[in-house]
Amino acid sequence: MPKLSDLLVPAPLRNTPKPGEAGAPKTPAPQDLKSAPPERPTDLGRTGEKALEAPVEAMAWIDQRMAASGFLTGMLFRKVPKGTNWFYTLGSATLFAFIVQAVTGVFLAMFYTPSTTQAYSSIAHINNDVFLGQFVHGMHKWGASVMVILVFLHMGRTFFFGAYKYPRELNWVIGVVLLILTMTMAFTGYLLPFDQRSYWASIVGININGTGPIVGPYLSDFLRAGPELGATTLSRFYAIHMLLVPGAIIALIGAHLYLVVKLGTTAPPWTKADKPRVATPTSNLDAGVSGNGYRPDGAGPTIAGVQIDGHNGEGAPA
Amino acid sequence: MAEDADKINQPYRAPDQVRTEPPPPGYFEGESMTRRKVFTIASQAIGGLAGAAIILPAVGFAVAPIFHRGKERWEKIGKTSDFTEDTYRQVVFTETPGIGDIGKQLAYVRKSSTELGEEPNQYVAISNRCAHLGCPVRFVQAAGNFICPCHGGVYDFQGKRIGGPPVRPLDRFQTRITKGEVEVGPRYSVTSQLKPVRARDPGEFTGGVWEYLYPPRPSTFPPP
Amino acid sequence: MKASDKQAYLEEYELLKKKGKPFFPYAVMKDSVMALVVVGVIIAMSLLLGAEQGPKADPTTTTYVPRPEWYFFFLFELLRVIKPPELVPIATIGIPTICMVLLLLLPFYDKGPERRPERRPLATTAGILTILAMGYLTYAGATSGSPTEIDMKVAPQYKAGAEIVAGSGCLACHKLGENGNNGPGPELTHIGARIPRAAIIRSIEIGPSIMPSFRELPKEKLNELADFLSSLN
């Protein structure tokens, strides 16, 4: 198997081009096959090699045009700080739960009818008649609970590890907006099965919005598309649940992850950097930071070089 | 692209005068700043116009139902003799036709009682929506109360709040008598003194200064 | 956070990062394991718990007891325990909005350089208290029964009184046997043994503390109710 780093690096830049193929990569293949058809069985090894080479070539072709391999290697092989532990998987687990919701949601939408007269029976149809219908419906339903739990766990980790502090304040704000959007998804998804719980929970939820002074009553009318919960309310909730909020969530997850890569993930607050190998003269920052328990022993040379982007420290692991 | 980058990296020489400021990003040889300003403003204005042309109709489309009022509907619910003064009868009627069961409403209906200080020969139709947050209240004959199963609101026989968190009495439906039959019409809310006001949503106070904090909505019908 | 603290953090972070391992495959390995666990849990829940539909939506019901999904129980319970009508907007809009704004602006008012939870006693305590409060509200919301049923055995002569209790919303605030909500009012299961009949009547009429007055109850119903309650011992 080709190494992944090979896949990501364009062919001309690869470290060890295979002998005999570096100069003329593509043309010999058909010639070989034509000139010696009976030899094919013995040639299996070489065709196999070529078959393995094909995805690499394809990646190289794409990369020649996108020039993304630098970014991808930077992102994939950026260093995560010492001490990174299982608590740091909660964010990606939340993302994964969201992906489960997105995929199962798309397939549920193929069978669901957002109409007041048919919504209930279309869910019954999914549950009773569609192959694996109840299973996919169940994954979406319970995936919602799992996602809510993971969002809170992820937020709890960020809070107790002080990871929302400088320079990651903006990422915390984006995260809280994502929490609100997740709860909005949970709320709007409620109404869709159109059973008793759906109906009354939506009534109560809309009325909660209505208790806001002055704008509240109009907000309720907007959510319901009228003075009473009716046909348009369901399509409105459906559009919010599967177009508006997911779009916003995807965009914000993109921004959230961009900042994670850009700023790097935090280390657990207890992890301290060991004494560096080379002791250098202490800098004038000493006075400012010594009260913090921080030893700036090795800090001098790196002050100017401090970068907070994800490409820092990339490259082959030493 | 690389050439452009080189141009940026070249030392900036203003064409007519010596300036100490660095050149603006993307500056190219012979660029007029007035022209740049005009293009900046024009591109934003035109783009904004295009954006508004997309957004405004869409928002209007979504917001329009707030200002739309449906047709007034009256529905027969039974003969005048079907209802008594001392207890309620549950009546199910269609409020919004064409959307299935969801367009139905339930009213608790009785004849008005002079003992309670009501005008004689009227019919009282009380909505089953709790005035706290809209859960379905039930009438309990034994206690003569309406109670809400959600957050514990309790109302008396007339629908006035006697306990729990509801903010006003239970809503009512307009009633009238046509040829010996009782008809129910649009919903309306009442103040704590049972004075009719335009229909409010649950959780919104009525009467006094609250009328301004929870303004009536254009989508509801005027009170009787 | 002073500029020097920021600089110190960045330097420390740089060192920690130098000592770290590359994201791929070391951190990704953990993420993949977690992803497998997550999808495993979701599949297991889907297979074990299914996705049963409730009864069809019916706006004209008089018997359905609405309850939200578990993740909104905390809000449900908040709405249930805040009884005075004047405070309803605070429970519905006020408290959730304030909490969300506080959460959103957290990094702007908590600017200290310290990150270790044991050295941030205020933040850590606030966080733990929030978790406990949310947990408690969720639990209380999950276990609150309908305020309209009494399952305990009632002697025939007290049946009328029991129905008045069930029908008057007493169980919204009081626990009675297996039914009702534990709080904010005191438990009524053995109320007859603790308080004499006259005091029960007085409480119902006056409505002590946060309890609403049930003065409007007709005299005979009040007597039946008091008979039933004072029989509980």
Residues C172-229 pLDDT 10s: 678 887 777 666 678 888 888 888 989 888 888 887 776 767 777 788 888 888 899 8
Helices (H), chain A: 4-8, 28-35, 44-66, 69-76, 90-109, 119-128, 133-160, 169-191, 196-210, 216-224, 231-239, 245-263, 286-289
- Yes or no, beta carbons of A313 and C18 under 8 Å apart: yes
One-letter amino acid for residue A227 of the chain = P
Q: Tell me how far apart the alpha carbons of residues B212 and B209 are, in angstroms, rounded to a whole number.
A: 6
Judged against a pLDDT cut of 80, whether residue A20 lies above it is answered with: no
Question: Measured between CB atoms, does C175 come within 8 Å of chain B?
Answer: no
Domains plus CATH for chain A?
4-71 (no CATH), 86-263 (1.20.810.10)
Q: How far is C85 from chain B (nearest CA, A)?
A: 5
Judged against a pLDDT cut of 80, whether residue B59 lies above it is answered with: yes
Say which residues have a Cβ less than 8 Å from residue A93's Cβ, sequence separation at least 6: A150, A154, C31, C34, C35, C37, C38
DSSP string, A53-118: HHHHHHHHHHHHHH--HHHHHHHHSPEEPTT--GGGGHHHHHHHHHHHHHHHHHHHHTT----TTT
Is residue C2 within 8 A of residue A286, CB to CB? The reply is no
Lowest mean pLDDT among A126-135, A183-192, B192-201, C142-151: C142-151
Task: Give me the interface pTM, i.e. the ipTM.
Answer: 0.84
Q: Tell me how far apart the alpha carbons of residues B33 and C22 are, in angstroms, rounded to a whole number.
A: 47
Judged against a pLDDT cut of 90, whether residue A19 lies above it is answered with: no
Which residues from A are below 8 Å from C129, CB to CB?
Answer: none
Domains plus CATH for chain B?
2-65 (no CATH), 75-213 (2.102.10.10)
Q: Are strands B154-155 and B161-163 parallel, antiparallel or unpaired?
A: antiparallel
Block residue for tokens 């972070």:
C13
Lowest mean pLDDT among A48-62, A161-175, A248-262, A282-296: A282-296
Judged against a pLDDT cut of 70, whether residue B58 lies above it is answered with: yes
Phi, psi (5° rounding) for residue B187? Answer: -80, 150
Q: What is the pLDDT of residues A196-246, one digit of tens each?
A: 999 999 999 999 999 999 999 999 999 999 999 988 999 999 999 999 999
Which residues from C are below 8 Å from B142, CB to CB?
Answer: 160, 163-164, 166-167
Q: In b/e form, how buried is each residue of B13-38, taking b as 16+ CB within 10 angstroms?
A: eeeeeeeeeebeeebeeeeeeeeeee
- Yes or no, beta carbons of A210 and B136 under 8 Å apart: no
C-alpha A157 chain-centroid distance? 18
Hey, what are C87's tokens? 């405070």
Q: Tell me how far apart the alpha carbons of residues C24 and C28 are, in angstroms, rounded to a whole number.
A: 5
List all chains that touch chain A, counting a touch as 3 or more CB pairs closer than 8 Å. Answer: B, C
Highest mean pLDDT among A295-309, B3-17, C33-47: C33-47
Question: Measured between CB atoms, does C55 come within 8 Å of chain B?
Answer: no
Q: Is the pLDDT higher at A40 or at A110?
A: A110
- Report the pLDDT averaged over residues B161-190: 92
Which residues from A are below 8 Å from B152, CB to CB?
Answer: none
Which residues from A are below 8 Å from C66, CB to CB?
Answer: 196-197, 200-201, 203-204
Judged against a pLDDT cut of 60, whether residue A34 lies above it is answered with: no
Which of A208, A221, A222, A223 is most worth mutating to test chain B (most B CB atoms within 10 A of its CB)? Answer: A221
What is the average pLDDT score of chain B?
88
pLDDT at B147: 85
List all chains that touch chain C, counting a touch as 3 or more CB pairs closer than 8 Å. Answer: A, B
- Yes or no, beta carbons of B143 and C83 under 8 Å apart: no
Helices C159-167 and C219-230 sit at what angle, rounded to 10 degrees? 110
Q: Please give the model's pTM, rounded to 2 decimal places.
A: 0.82
Q: Is the pLDDT higher at A47 or at A305?
A: A47
Judged against a pLDDT cut of 50, whether residue A91 lies above it is answered with: yes
Taking any CB pair shorter than 8 Å as contact, residues of chain A touching chain B are: 116-117, 199-200, 203-204, 206-208, 210-211, 213-214, 216-218, 220-222, 224-232
Q: Tell me how far apart the alpha carbons of residues A192 and A123 are, in angstroms, rounded to a whole number.
A: 9
Judged against a pLDDT cut of 50, whether residue B135 lies above it is answered with: yes
Closest residue in chain C to residue B136, using alpha carbons only:
C62
Judged against a pLDDT cut of 60, whether residue A1 lies above it is answered with: no
Block residue for tokens 């325990």:
C81
- Yes or no, beta carbons of B103 and A199 under 8 Å apart: no
Low-confidence ranges of chain C (pLDDT < 50): none
- Yes or no, beta carbons of A288 and C35 under 8 Å apart: no
Lowest mean pLDDT among B72-76, B123-127, C124-128, C142-146: C142-146
pLDDT exceeding 70 applies to what percent of chain A?
Answer: 72
Judged against a pLDDT cut of 90, whether residue B163 lies above it is answered with: no
Q: Tell me how far apart the alpha carbons of residues C181 and C189 are, in angstroms, rounded to a whole number.
A: 12
List all chains that touch chain B, counting a touch as 3 or more CB pairs closer than 8 Å. Answer: A, C
What is the average pLDDT score of chain A?
80
DSSP string, C130-166: HHHHHHHHHHHHHH---TT---S---GGGHHHHHHHH
Judged against a pLDDT cut of 60, whether residue A130 lies above it is answered with: yes
- Yes or no, beta carbons of C169 and B152 under 8 Å apart: yes
Contacts across the B-C interface (CB distance below 8 Å): 124
Block residue for tokens 């718990």:
C49
Sheet of B138-140: strand order equals B138-140, B145-147, B154-155, B161-163
Block residue for tokens 């040639």:
A43
- Yes or no, beta carbons of B154 and C60 under 8 Å apart: no
Q: What is the pLDDT of residues B193-218, one digit of tens each?
A: 999 999 999 999 998 888 899 999 99
Q: Tell me how far apart the alpha carbons of residues A14 and A12 are, in angstroms, rounded to a whole number.
A: 6
- Yes or no, beta carbons of B147 and C147 under 8 Å apart: yes
Which residues from A are below 8 Å from C4, CB to CB?
Answer: 285, 288-289
